[in-house]
Structure 1
Amino acid sequence: MNMIKPIAIAFLLPAIFQTAQVQATTMHASAREILSADTLSWDTPLPFDNEVKTGKLSNGFQYYIRRNVEPKDRVTMYLATKVGSILETEEQVGLAHFLEHMNFNGLKHFPKNELVNYLQKAGVRFGSDLNAYTGFDQTVYQLPIPSDDPELLKNGLQVMRDWAQDALLNEEEIDKERGIVLEEMRGGRGASQRMRDKYLPVMLNNSRYSNRLPIGTEANIKGFPYASLRSFHKDWYRPDLQAIIIVGDIDVSAMESEIKRLFSDLKAPATAPKREEYQVPLLNANQFIAVTDPEMTYTVGQLTIKHKEQKVKTVRDLRSNLLKSVYNDMLNARLGELAQSANPPFIQASVGIGGFIGGLDAYNAVFVAKPGSFEMGFKALARELERVERHGFTDSEFQRAITTIRKGTEMAYVERDKKKSDSYVNSYLNHYLEDSPALSNEDSYNLYKQLLPTLTLHEVNQLGKQYYVDNNRDMIIMAPENEKANLPDEQQVKTWFKDIEGEQIATYDDKVSDLPMLAKEPVAGSISASKDIAAVASKELTLSNGVRVVLKPTTFKNDEILISAYSPGGTSLYADSDYFTASQAADLVNSSGIGQLNTIELQKYLTGKNLNISPYISERAEGISGHSDKEGLKTAFEMIYGYFTAPRIEDDAFQSTISKTLSMIANRASNPNFVFSQAVMQSLYNGNIRRTPISEDDVKKIDQARALEIYKNRFADASDFTFTIVGSFTEEEIKPYLEQYLAALPASNRKEEAKDLGIYEPKKGFEKVVHKGQEQKATAVLSFYGDYSYNEQENLNMDALESVLTIKLLERLREEESGVYGTAARASTSKYPKNRFSFTVSFGTAVDKYQALIASTLDEINKVKKAGPLEEDLAKFKIEQRRQLELSLKENRFWMSQLSGAYQRNEDPSYITHYLDALDKISVSSVKAVANKYLKEEQLFKFILLPDESK
């Protein structure tokens, strides 16, 4: 069980609030006309992408169409509507989001649930492909589909047309959907939601936004009249508030003609209401709120300083945005260093100047405090902000930030002809909804290239003074209930600010090393053997020290090289007493420097390099994973060599990791999901230390010296390592690095295999009920475990069983019984250390429904066991697999997974070439057979999470 990783912190404004805004489609001069060698025309409007066809129909409906062949034979369509929850009346609260749901439950040309059914038959996945979302100011529908089927392409456009205005809004379907939306709402309840309801009015200055959350209210979803939904649909789903965005492998002219044919007859109501633009007002005052909850697991403090929004419309605006990026990058680098210190003042912290909501931008500074140490975390963050205010940044920090942005710009430009359609769609979506720029690849590259040299350190330093001000500032605190006594009031926060203002604060010391990473170059080895794997255009090399290397050059990206390596062994070779130390050894090394460079020096050394190399030690293996571009390959191989021969665990990195881990686990027992997971693991594995969450005592027992010793032992012999390298290289380009670095790795030819630890689930199933949590909601997890006949065909049958059961469970539990928002079957199989499987169905629902839904789930399982799946459901699985394989075969990561996985499991690396033949062998009878073979009643485990028992 790995130590808890640092939590991913974000500003308190949830993603659901991040609205999309609007833009014009005026064609402007290109960047080459705006910029000459010596002069910048600052106030010239930014050029619009000249490779997209745009237009507006007479009814106001707009369109964006672009041909892009990545991926080939695919097209992505979005319908954007400037209609969200902000437009709802009090009686309509929640109906914008509800209407989004109804657009999947009965359209003019796709009644009832026929839309999902039809698209699944074409290989389109509901949820991951076919989807939609509702925000405050917009609702967006998405449909990625194959474009090589004219009938499917035609019907995809018809779906868009029906979404625009032809929802049927059948009363029976509306009533069924009420339960589904209520379950979506129920699933979101918990500590975060309860605290959000308290701080949101403060954060949004009691504006209309603060009481128009898209999810709505339980009372309104249960009881709104049908007429209210139909009225909202009639008023707002109209052509002057809509646009279609189509990017993919299509004929642009033909697509434009079809759009004109299908969408020109859209009509707005004669008395259409005005589309108001709502704002969050600036109060010209500071605000404070602290909220606590018994189920919150850590303390977050956030400063949000609101400013009038500055839209990016001109070259000057784009330059201003670049300055903000430089500021954010430099300040976050400093905070990152502070978080890596031996006794970090907080768990994590970040700062960002960016967009907010309702016509505002914001300066956000957020930190996660250590338990009982809110003051220390607050002052540490405020001190760094004050340090920048007084002394500014250094020129070396500034140059690194510029280098980082320049590298990112160059990477994007190099890959421009391999850019996925989804990237373009999102750009045009934001152009329509957010008034944000949509630059062509050429213009973006040329503008950034010429603007970056004009930025100055002085301007960046002044930017902080402009945004970090003592006005329109909110201080928001979220914390566990048991931290309440440690939290400040508003006056205390003001006092802390004054304390920092009165401190003597030194300038920042930017420590950079001039030493090379490695003390000396390794003595090169050689390639001793070579073997073609022609079926998958790959080659297996054996190096002079025994290292095996599998190469697959590709052209899927212009400059992306993936690197992975493994060796059998892992933590399985160590005693339980060493387990937590062994499981953390690679992470501790990865958190430190390499060779002659410490952690911070290494991070700065890697500035402007598009690469990442990390070691790992898992239960049954150890290895390396990472990526690089061609320019960074030498450094990447130096890092690999360094992680084998010159690893380190620095005192500061070790103490920092231990300190932050203790802080992160301190309150986790208040989280119902953690308590549930812990109880499940305890019941399945009888408290085995390797399946138990790490405790405070366990963390304190992790031994720094022993961790490094274990790590060195795992990487002491490279002779049993297999490296897999996939991407944009040739064999001749990569060979020098293989010989210089990988063939030079130490080798003693020891023979190791991972140990079978005998950690398996019980042979007989049981039921485990856990009571934890305030909310009236239940979670049910139904799992089957057991021995397995591991082979390619059996695995494929299990995948098919997973798919057909998921289809049936969604139809039954969601659509028929309105009991869940989402559910799915999940199959997992393993070859080593023993052929095993798990098959799980999980869902969340109301406390009074879970037993009936469990019965329905088992009924659907029994139907498959008795009669097999429906032929049409199996056909959906097969076409989805075929369509996904078409895409996967052109992805570097897919090939890395296929090749590396095959070598680790001692399987045929060319299996994928006959995958479709194996897929054709899947039948109703074969899926029925695996269902009966593995989903046995005596091997069923039921895990139920219910609320706290009433006192």
Structure 2
Amino acid sequence: MFRISENKILRPLFLTLIHAAFGLSLFAQQKGQHQEKPLPLDPNVRTGTLPNGFTYFIRHNETPKNRAVLNLVVKAGSILEEDDQRGLAHFMEHMSFNGTKNFPKNELVNYLQKNGVRFGADINAYTGFDETVYQLPIPADEEILNNGIRILRDWADAATLDIGAINKERGVILEEKRLQTGVENRMQGRYSPSLFNHSRYAFREPIGTDSILRSFPREALERFYKDWYRPDLQAVVLVGDFDVDKIEKLVKNSFNGLKNPLLKKQRIQYHVGLTGKNQFLALTDPEMSSTVAQIIIKHKAEALSTASQYKNAIVRRLFNGMLAKRFRDLSRGGNQDFLQAGASIGKLLADVDNFSFSVVARPGQLDKGVSAAWKEVSYLKRSGFKQQELDMEKEIYSNAMENAIKEKNNISSDSYAKEYIAYFLNHDLAPGIETEYAFVKKFLAEINLKDLNQLIVDYIRNDNTDIIILAPENTVLPNQEKFRSWMDLKPDKSSVSENIAPFTPKDLLGKDPVAGKSISSTVDQESGTTTIILSNGIRVILKPTGFKKDEILFSGFSAGGTSLYPEKDYQSAKHAAAVVSSSGAGNYGIMEMDSFMANRQMAVRPFISELSQGISGGSTKGNIEQALRLAYAYITEPRVDTMVFKNLIDKGRLSIEGRSKAAEAVFQDSINTILGGQSFRRTAPSLAKLNQISMQRCLEIFRERFSNNAGMVFTFVGSFEIDSIKPLIEKYIGSLPVTSNKNRFRDNGIKLSENAVKLTLRKGMEQKAKVELVFSGNFDYTPENRIKMDAIRGILQIRMIERLREQESGVYSPSVNLSLDKNPTSTFKLSIVFDCDPKQYAKLIASALDEVRKLKDQGPEEVNVQKYIAESIRSRETSVSSNQWWLGYIAGQLEDSESLSQYSTYGDGLKKLTVKSIKEAAAAYLDENRLIEAVLLPEERK
């Protein structure tokens, strides 16, 4: 439920590349900088500071309607902990949910659950190095709002810190800490001190230390609470569908009484000092699956509060976009010297950002990988960017901003809240979307190549550089001198920007489609849909909405999929859509496709799943014809690219080799194999399977699946008028090829396990156990039974948290998951999953199964039935106001041949739930004679 803020540059260091987002979270103005006035705060937010120093931000917003997001923000995190308090900032965050003045013990969570607020999914908080933020999204009903403010007020200074609750929470947090073990965390623990220049940040990870978490006295926690939870370091950020005047009055009345300590401790601003020196680390670990090198050039971060600083942030965003495209082109242009590479400017930590370069090398080819990827950076330093690159990136940026201004009335309350939180914590600007739009138009016109090339000089330097290599055990690694020799490249013109020809637009399609016709149209008033039957027999469901002004989503499918292919072709069928969609379509290869898509806000993706094939996508209104044209190109003019195919296979090989080292991946593969009755369609990926994939067969199978689109059904949801989109549908969908043969999937007889199975797997270095208890079987797939089964899931989720976490302090975040399938046969899978101390797993399994038996024998407690109903109603109220939900709902109902009107009876179905009906369903389906009890334990130490 609770998350710890962490370094976002380092987390993806292992297998993913870092591409910095536009909104760099930066800090106060540097000394010596000219005193340009900060931009004023968005005039649509009401803000003020009480006499005690407490700050508030209040904004009315109706997305979503009848909802509010309440936040308490504290400028205090783990960086302020004394040596005997390491981990207590985060511990304090937990204790705020374990008893306050107005909500003793667990009453706070209990009260919110009764009002439809989910524990973990909604009620949340995080602790970072410099801040603690509590988030409370609630219904905007007056009574609940008033109590929500009361909860924030209690969090501010009225936590009870009961010693019994503290002792119980120790186990929970130690289990949370256990979740943060593994190769990634081991490696980070080894390089963080050096990377953070042995500053305080290197030794104040928010999760803390085992020794202190196990034994700290209550006084140490209370001392942190009293020192730092004080009004001059706190703010509330409240955004939602409410009366601002009333909320402001309530805030003033509630928080005016907070008092600062008589002897306030100074709130020191800590820094990661830049020493100017360069550092080198080469590390190995038995569980590392690939060799990764990263070059991190640290740089003093600039603030983000004035107009000129906003302009500089746009320059960084343009820089990142152009450099990302260069690396995409490099990887697609036949380069085989590395598997992945990239570079960007982004935040590192505190008041430091960085230029970060990373490369994932092919086995045994780190030298080639580093040289090939760094060559692009070297060329950039010598030659800079080109005007055509800047023009393209400006167009992309401008289009994104145009879309944002169109959707300004649909910005979520949560998005506004995050913006104002950053304003309070870091002085990040928050001038409002209209002001930002005006600045973007102005600055994009002003920014030139000189600005970009100066940024290259400022960031890609020879000082404050950390080189970090992470590799599998027994890898021969270079020393610093050898590594730097790979970076010392002679000037040449081998840059991708030199060798790739500029994009020349041409017709995407080799042959323009001949439009079909609409032969019938029917309207369903209840679901708000219109169904069109086209002359080729394809059915199209249209649901215009007003949720967003400029968004159209679509998907189409027909039966078949990989189920139709035998073992020798199965792997090619499974990967065919990925190979095709990565290779381009029509007249555009992958390089041209990337340029074609760059300045268009749209996405289109074909798929081949187990039981169907189809295509999905979305776009703005202005790009919907191009999106449908691209969908038509994929279906009728697919293509494959040799280099793309080779890269996908090489990455797949590395993934499989790494998967064998990943304990949890092997564990999940073992469970899936049991559930799938040992079918080759359910067993784990392997090199033998990878070698079965044929590029030519991928293309043949893709063409087979889409050469006949009989029975295909499309769904369109979003901002469109039926009369306007209808001609496009007739042209690009009404022209799709259809034969008289109806598409069907094949039932390959994959049966769920009918016997109880106990699986114990020993793998992994960390002292951590993972438990998965799976109930499965045949299912009577009716709307009523689906609601009952989900109620079983939801109620078990409540009980697992109450029993395993709150009562036994044995786990951090147990989850109960449900999967219901109608085809090819109606089945269900319900799993209870948790991580724990290897010494405690048997006891916790017994407790979990005890809760299952209670549900079957006695039924659920009435209060938990009502909590589930409240949570479900509140969740549905907001979800039905999104295009994504309606697209998923309609497409899912169509694929299962279910009525589109079922959503309207959902509330009635919830109201019919009773203790008795849930008990009977649990007794019928949760059969321990078919239970898979799977346990992953660490390898035995020698």
TM-based fold match above 0.5: yes
> Post-superposition shift, 1:83?
0.4
Distance 1:461 1:12 in 2: 19
Answer whether contact 2:709 2:743 (CA < 8 A) is retained.
no
Distance 1:675 1:827 in 2: 21
For 2:357, the equivalent position in structure 1 comes to: 365
Answer whether contact 1:865 1:932 (CA < 8 A) is retained.
yes
2:205 pairs with 1:236: no
For 1:461, the equivalent position in structure 2 comes to: 453
For 1:325, the equivalent position in structure 2 comes to: 317
**Alignment partner for residue 627 of structure 1, among 618, 623, 628?**
618
> Post-superposition shift, 1:394?
2.1
Q: Which amino acid in structure 2 is aligned with residue 890 of structure 1?
A: S
Distance 2:335 2:38 in 1: 49
For 1:740, the equivalent position in structure 2 comes to: 731
Distance 1:559 1:254 in 2: 34
For 2:6, the equivalent position in structure 1 comes to: none
For 2:499, the equivalent position in structure 1 comes to: 509
Residues 441-499 of structure 1, C-alpha deviations (whole Å, 9 max, x = no match): 110111101110111123212211221011000011222214x21x222111122222x
SS in 2 for 1:536: coil
For 2:284, the equivalent position in structure 1 comes to: 292
* Distance change >3 Å, CA 350–CA 42, structure 1 → 2: farther
Q: Which amino acid in structure 2 is aligned with residue 116 of structure 1?
A: V
Distance 1:270 1:514 in 2: 70
Q: Which amino acid in structure 2 is aligned with residue 559 of structure 1?
A: D
Answer whether contact 1:19 1:136 (CA < 8 A) is retained.
no
> Post-superposition shift, 1:744?
1.1
SS in 1 for 2:710: helix
* Distance change >3 Å, CA 916–CA 682, structure 1 → 2: closer
2:566 pairs with 1:588: no
Answer whether contact 1:47 1:443 (CA < 8 A) is retained.
no
Alignment of 1:222-301 (within 5 A): 222-301=214-293
> Post-superposition shift, 1:365?
1.1
**Alignment partner for residue 642 of structure 2, among 640, 646, 651?**
651
2:595 pairs with 1:604: yes
2:818 pairs with 1:827: yes
Answer whether contact 1:22 1:433 (CA < 8 A) is retained.
no
2:545 pairs with 1:554: yes
* Distance change >3 Å, CA 225–CA 191, structure 1 → 2: same
Q: Which amino acid in structure 1 is aligned with residue 16 of structure 2?
A: I
Which has the higher mean CA deviation after the structures are superposed, 523-532 or 657-666?
Answer: 657-666
Distance 1:343 1:392 in 2: 21
Answer whether contact 1:22 1:432 (CA < 8 A) is retained.
no
Answer whether contact 1:343 1:659 (CA < 8 A) is retained.
no
For 1:33, the equivalent position in structure 2 comes to: none
> Post-superposition shift, 1:508?
2.1
For 1:30, the equivalent position in structure 2 comes to: none
> Post-superposition shift, 1:837?
0.8
Distance 2:354 2:283 in 1: 21
Distance 2:940 2:784 in 1: 46
Answer whether contact 1:586 1:616 (CA < 8 A) is retained.
yes
> Post-superposition shift, 1:510?
3.9
> Post-superposition shift, 1:19?
8.0
2:880 pairs with 1:896: no
For 1:352, the equivalent position in structure 2 comes to: 344
For 1:120, the equivalent position in structure 2 comes to: 113
> Post-superposition shift, 1:501?
4.0
Distance 1:889 1:13 in 2: 32
Distance 1:23 1:537 in 2: 53
Q: Which amino acid in structure 2 is aligned with residue 331 of structure 1?
A: L
Distance 1:12 1:711 in 2: 32
Answer whether contact 1:19 1:138 (CA < 8 A) is retained.
no
Distance 1:798 1:23 in 2: 55
Distance 1:306 1:96 in 2: 28
* Distance change >3 Å, CA 726–CA 755, structure 1 → 2: same
For 1:65, the equivalent position in structure 2 comes to: 58
Distance 1:19 1:189 in 2: 27
2:385 pairs with 1:402: no
Answer whether contact 1:23 1:433 (CA < 8 A) is retained.
no
Q: Which amino acid in structure 1 is aligned with residue 482 of structure 2?
A: Q
Which has the higher mean CA deviation after the structures are superposed, 847-856 or 342-351?
Answer: 342-351
Residues 482-529 of structure 1, C-alpha deviations (whole Å, 9 max, x = no match): 4x21x222111122222x146664562343133210123211111011
2:563 pairs with 1:572: yes
SS in 1 for 2:357: strand
* Distance change >3 Å, CA 263–CA 139, structure 1 → 2: same
Answer whether contact 2:297 2:459 (CA < 8 A) is retained.
yes
* Distance change >3 Å, CA 395–CA 42, structure 1 → 2: farther
SS in 1 for 2:549: coil
SS in 2 for 1:638: helix
> Post-superposition shift, 1:64?
0.3
> Post-superposition shift, 1:140?
0.3
Q: CA RMSD in A?
A: 1.9
SS in 1 for 2:621: coil
> Post-superposition shift, 1:11?
4.9
TM-score, structure 2 as length reference: 0.96
2:444 pairs with 1:452: yes
Distance 1:940 1:526 in 2: 53
Unaligned runs of 5+ in 1: 25-40
Distance 1:121 1:301 in 2: 50
For 2:7, the equivalent position in structure 1 comes to: none
Distance 1:334 1:296 in 2: 28
Distance 1:7 1:493 in 2: 19
2:809 pairs with 1:839: no
**Alignment partner for residue 518 of structure 1, among 506, 509, 526?**
509
Segments of 4+ in structure 1 off by > 6 A? 5-8
For 1:32, the equivalent position in structure 2 comes to: none
* Distance change >3 Å, CA 248–CA 22, structure 1 → 2: farther
SS in 1 for 2:133: strand
SS in 1 for 2:633: helix
**Alignment partner for residue 658 of structure 2, among 662, 667, 684?**
667
**Alignment partner for residue 539 of structure 1, among 530, 533, 548?**
530
2:122 pairs with 1:129: yes
Distance 2:918 2:409 in 1: 42
Residues 69-128 of structure 1, C-alpha deviations (whole Å, 9 max, x = no match): 111111101111000000001111000000000000011111111111000000001111
Distance 1:504 1:748 in 2: 52
**Alignment partner for residue 917 of structure 1, among 886, 889, 908?**
908
Answer whether contact 1:716 1:747 (CA < 8 A) is retained.
yes
Answer whether contact 1:387 1:508 (CA < 8 A) is retained.
no
Distance 1:204 1:109 in 2: 42
**Alignment partner for residue 426 of structure 1, among 408, 418, 421?**
418
2:762 pairs with 1:799: no
**Alignment partner for residue 487 of structure 2, among 492, 497, 521?**
497
> Post-superposition shift, 1:8?
6.2
Residues 842-861 of structure 1, C-alpha deviations (whole Å, 9 max, x = no match): 11000110000000011111
Distance 1:626 1:333 in 2: 22
For 1:37, the equivalent position in structure 2 comes to: none
Answer whether contact 1:528 1:543 (CA < 8 A) is retained.
yes
Answer whether contact 1:344 1:659 (CA < 8 A) is retained.
no
Distance 1:106 1:749 in 2: 67
Alignment of 1:748-897 (within 5 A): 748-897=739-888
**Alignment partner for residue 201 of structure 1, among 173, 181, 193?**
193
> Post-superposition shift, 1:686?
4.9
Answer whether contact 1:19 1:135 (CA < 8 A) is retained.
no
**Alignment partner for residue 946 of structure 1, among 932, 937, 942?**
937
**Alignment partner for residue 81 of structure 2, among 79, 83, 88?**
88
Q: Which amino acid in structure 1 is aligned with residue 98 of structure 2?
A: N
How many pairs does the alignment contain?
924
SS in 1 for 2:526: helix
SS in 1 for 2:53: coil
Distance 1:308 1:509 in 2: 35
Answer whether contact 1:641 1:745 (CA < 8 A) is retained.
yes
Unaligned runs of 5+ in 2: 1-11
For 1:152, the equivalent position in structure 2 comes to: 144
Answer whether contact 2:632 2:732 (CA < 8 A) is retained.
yes
Distance 1:691 1:20 in 2: 47
TM-score, structure 1 as length reference: 0.95
> Post-superposition shift, 1:344?
3.2
Q: Which amino acid in structure 2 is aligned with residue 581 of structure 1?
A: S
> Post-superposition shift, 1:418?
1.1
Q: Which amino acid in structure 2 is aligned with residue 895 of structure 1?
A: W
SS in 2 for 1:244: strand
